[in-house]
């Protein structure tokens, strides 16, 4: 795996993968940014969310469950001192499905968090406490 990062302007950075797909980063004006894109640590948190998100959806679909909607919200806490690493991350999974049970959803999340998601594993290996909760909603509740 290889990526390339280039300075766009001020503190705005454009990252590209080998396919040329881009991810843009920026930061606060107080440190020279323009707030035009997520900060690197926000993207890091989003990457963990996307990784487990894809796992859970894939597992549910393999179980032949209908996924009408899915959302993962992450609330994280960082250390107060530099390098200000993530200390805690709490994931809130919300599934909209007419046929999936809480057992289906919880097992899918458990498999993601304990076996498949390398991003969650990296957070945990770095000492971050990763917790989660889950809910299934009706389409009318979304």
Residues 72 and 88 in one domain: yes
| Host domain of residue 25 | 1-37
Q: How crowded is residue 120: how many other Cβ atoms within 10 Å of its Cβ?
A: 22
Rounded average pLDDT over 116-125? 98
Mean pLDDT, rounded, of the chain? 96
Q: Is the peptide bond before 83 cis (omega within 30 degrees of 0)?
A: yes
Q: What is the CATH number of the domain that holds 76?
A: 3.30.300.20
Proportion of the chain above pLDDT 70, given as a percent: 97
Residues 66 and 26 in one domain: no
Largest Cα–Cα distance in the chain? 50
Sequential DSSP letters for 104-140: HHHHHHHHIIIII-HHHHHHHHTT-EEEEEEEEE-GG
Residues 30 and 59 in one domain: no
Q: Are 49 and 91 in contact (CB under 8 A)?
A: yes
Residues 2 and 15 in one domain: yes
Residues 81 and 29 in one domain: no
Q: For residue 142, what pLDDT is reported?
A: 56
Residues 99 and 66 in one domain: yes
Residues 124 and 55 in one domain: yes
Residues 111 and 54 in one domain: yes
Residues 6 and 52 in one domain: no
Residues 32 and 85 in one domain: no
For the stretch 26-75, pLDDT in tens is 999 999 999 999 999 999 999 999 999 999 999 999 999 999 999 999 99
Is 98 a residue whose pLDDT tops 80?
yes
pLDDT band for position 138 (cuts 50, 70, 90): confident
The distance in angstroms from the start CA to the end CA of the chain is 37
Q: For residue 140, what pLDDT is reported?
A: 63
Residues 6 and 73 in one domain: no
Rounded average pLDDT over 82-93? 97
Residues 32 and 56 in one domain: no
Tell me which H or E stretch contains 51: helix 40-62
Q: Are 60 and 94 in contact (CB under 8 A)?
A: no
Number of compact structural domains in the chain: 2
């Amino acid at each position: 795996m290889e990526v390339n990062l280039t300075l766009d302007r001020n503190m705005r950075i454009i990252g590209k993968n080998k396919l040329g797909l881009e991810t843009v980063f920026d930061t606060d004006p107080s440190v020279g940014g323009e707030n035009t894109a997520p900060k690197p640590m926000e993207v890091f948190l989003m990457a963990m969310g996307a990784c487990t998100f894809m796992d859970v959806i894939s597992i549910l679909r393999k179980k032949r469950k209908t996924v009408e909607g899915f959302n993962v919200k992450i609330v994280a806490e960082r250390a107060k001192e530099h390098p200000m690493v993530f200390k805690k991350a709490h994931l809130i999974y919300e599934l909209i499905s007419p046929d999936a049970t809480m057992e289906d959803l919880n097992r899918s999340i458990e498999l993601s968090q304990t076996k498949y998601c390398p991003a969650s594993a990296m957070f945990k290996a770095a000492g971050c406490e990763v917790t989660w909760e889950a809910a299934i909603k009706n389409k009318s509740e979304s």
